[in-house]
């Protein structure tokens, strides 16, 4: 069966995490992803994926090809224009204005290919007062309100262990924008520009916290709401267990809360789910002490006898061993050209008629340059001359 995005060619110039996450999803869905780097990016140094070809940890190496083009040269720009004519999507992660200086911006590319879908992924977007401000994930979750509502035990903002603005917000929002633009192209025959801001996307994720402010309510920095748990809602919280591990409880609906109370031996609290003040503190204290009497896994076995909305708080090592993650293919082994097999994070989207497949791997920078150049009509002799001139890499 053909992959969902079979026949879609993506030129990926968004080299950092959010862009790579986006192109990984598109590649997993069947798109041909060509990562277009500068001719010799290794000279910059830094933690670039292609510098570690034998350690396939990040999924961004799969289902993609790599080539190097020096876009600051006349011939390099001509090569990219030829490539753009064959593409459906161009994705870039430069600072706003950089692609215009390089003459590979949307207005330039739509003249070459009117059907092109062009996505720009940046920290603050292509307009607005902050468009030229540099940043990273920590800055976007800070200004978007997420970091200020995530507190550690000392009350200071707690930095998440994963990149929420880059991946959960920016990367996936770019995928959605690209797919929507491709659908619109089916109707109009024309491509369009997709402007994705990681800060915008974080603000979108913060909807449950920001909505009270929009209707005039005053909320604290930690913004007490259903998702905060700690000292607020005993039935939506995290509890330490006898073995020093933790269990999460999300018994929001009254019937789930009723089941929880029965299994914890405190049916007297069923009618007090939404209690405030001393009664709520009493329930929280009881839950806290009770969960300390058994191990995490013992509690899971007990509480999953009925619907209670509980789950273990896993370490990374536990996640990759979990039988459900394995059954869902989220931790999977895929064929690798040099390692035989490589353990990977599996595809986050499952399609019934278009299953995921690791079609190819990028094992080194510029691995597919010659192949792509030949597809564009360049001869071996011409390719060698362009490489010797450091126009391609």
pLDDT digits 0-9 by tens, 213-250: 888 766 655 445 444 444 569 999 999 999 999 999 99
Dihedral over Cα of 123, 41, 87, 176: its sign = negative
Comparing CA positions, the residue from 47, 24, 46, 43 lying closest to residue 35 is: 24
Q: Kindly report, residue by residue over 246-278, the tens digit of the pLDDT.
A: 999 999 999 999 999 999 999 999 999 999 999
Spatial neighbors of 108 by CB under 8 A, at least 6 apart, are 100
Look at residue 219 and tell me if it is in a domain. Answer: no
Note the pLDDT of residue 293: 98
105 is catalytic: no
Same domain, 166 and 200: yes
Q: Could you tell me the CATH number of the domain that includes residue 174?
A: 3.40.50.10540
Domain check: are 286 and 380 in the same one?
no
Is 310 in a helix, a strand, or coil? strand
Residue 222 within any structural domain of the chain? no
Task: Give yes or no: residues 196 and 289 share one domain.
Answer: no
- Pair 16, 168: CB distance under 8 Å: no
- Using the predicted structure, report yes or no on whether residue 386 has a pLDDT greater than 60: yes
Q: What is the pLDDT of residues 52-86, one digit of tens each?
A: 444 444 566 789 999 999 999 999 999 999 999 99
The pLDDT of 151-177, averaged and rounded, is 89
- The vertex-228 CA angle with 226 and 231, nearest 5°, equals 100
pLDDT recorded at residue 73: 96
- Of 312, 343, 363, the residue at which a domain comes to its end is 312
**Both 302 and 346 in a single domain?**
no
15 with 135, same domain: the answer is: yes
Q: Catalytic residue at 136?
A: yes
Q: Are residues 259 and 116 in the same domain?
A: no
Choice among 136, 232, 272, 368 that is catalytic: 136
Please report the pLDDT score of residue 44 as a whole number.
59
Residues 110 and 190 in one domain: yes
Strand arrangement, sheet containing 64-68: 64-68, 32-37, 9-13, 89-92, 117-122, 193-197
In a 3-state reduction of DSSP, which class is residue 151? Answer: strand
Full residue range of the structural domain in which residue 291 is found: 236-240+246-312
Whether residues 107 and 255 share a domain: the answer is no
C-beta neighbour count of 68 within 10 angstroms? 22
Q: State percent of the chain over pLDDT 90.
A: 73
Q: Using the predicted structure, report yes or no on whether residue 42 has a pLDDT greater than 70.
A: no
pLDDT digit string, tens, across residues 294-318: 999 999 999 999 999 999 999 999 9
Q: Is the pLDDT of residue 46 over 70?
A: no
What is the C-alpha separation between 155 and 114, in angstroms, rounded?
A: 52
Q: Of the residues 12, 88, 137, 166, which is catalytic?
A: 166
Question: How long a stretch of residues is the chain?
Answer: 393
For 186, the token pair is 């089916």
Q: Is 215 part of any domain?
A: no
CB 148, CB 142: distance < 8 Å: yes
Q: Is 97 within the bounds of a domain?
A: yes
- Number of structural domains (the chain) is 2
Q: Does the residue 217 lie in any domain?
A: no
Q: Is residue 3 part of a domain?
A: no
Q: What CATH code is carried by the domain that includes residue 260?
A: 3.30.1540.10
Assess whether 154 and 197 both reside in one domain. Answer: yes
How much is the mean pLDDT over the chain?
A: 90
Residue entry with tokens 């490539």: 83
Instruction: pLDDT band for 11, please (50, 70, 90 cuts).
Output: very high
């Amino acid at each position: 069966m053909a992959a969902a995005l079979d026949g879609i060619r993506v030129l990926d110039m968004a080299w950092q995490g959010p862009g790579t996450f986006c192109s990984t999803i598109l590649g997993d869905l069947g798109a041909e992803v060509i990562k277009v780097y500068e001719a010799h990016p290794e000279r910059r140094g830094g933690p670039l994926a292609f510098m570690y070809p034998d350690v396939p940890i990040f999924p961004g190496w799969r289902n993609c090809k790599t080539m190097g083009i020096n876009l600051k040269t006349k011939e390099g720009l001509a090569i990219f224009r030829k490539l753009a004519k064959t593409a459906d999507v161009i994705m870039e992660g430069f600072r706003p204005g950089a692609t215009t200086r390089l003459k590979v911006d949307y207005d330039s590319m739509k003249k070459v290919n009117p059907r092109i879908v062009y996505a720009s992924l940046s920290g603050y977007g292509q307009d607005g007062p902050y468009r030229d401000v540099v940043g990273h994930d920590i800055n976007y979750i800070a200004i978007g309100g997420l970091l200020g509502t995530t507190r550690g035990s000392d009350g200071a903002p707690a930095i998440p262990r994963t990149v929420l603005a880059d991946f959960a917000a920016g990367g996936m929002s770019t995928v959605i924008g690209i797919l929507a633009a491709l659908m619109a192209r089916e109707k109009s025959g024309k491509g369009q520009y997709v402007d994705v801001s990681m800060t915008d996307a974080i603000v979108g994720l913060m909807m449950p916290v920001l909505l009270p402010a929009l209707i005039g309510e005053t909320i604290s920095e930690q913004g007490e709401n259903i998702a905060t748990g700690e000292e607020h809602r005993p039935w939506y919280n995290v509890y330490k267990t006898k073995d020093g591990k933790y269990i999460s409880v999300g018994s929001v609906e009254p019937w789930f809360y009723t089941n929880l109370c029965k299994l914890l031996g405190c049916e007297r609290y069923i009618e007090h789910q939404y209690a405030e003040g001393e009664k709520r503190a009493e329930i929280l204290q009881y839950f806290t002490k009770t969960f300390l009497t058994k191990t995490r896994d013992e509690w899971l076995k007990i509480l999953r006898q009925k619907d209670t909305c509980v789950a273990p708080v896993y370490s990374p090592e536990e996640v990759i061993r979990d039988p459900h993650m394995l059954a869902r293919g989220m931790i999977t082994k895929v064929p690798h050209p040099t390692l035989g097999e490589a353990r990977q994070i599996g595809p986050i989207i499952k399609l019934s008629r278009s299953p995921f497949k690791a079609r190819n791997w990028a094992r080194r920078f510029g691995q597919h340059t010659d192949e792509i150049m030949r597809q564009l009509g360049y001869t071996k002799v011409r390719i060698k001359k362009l490489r010797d001139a450091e126009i391609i890499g």
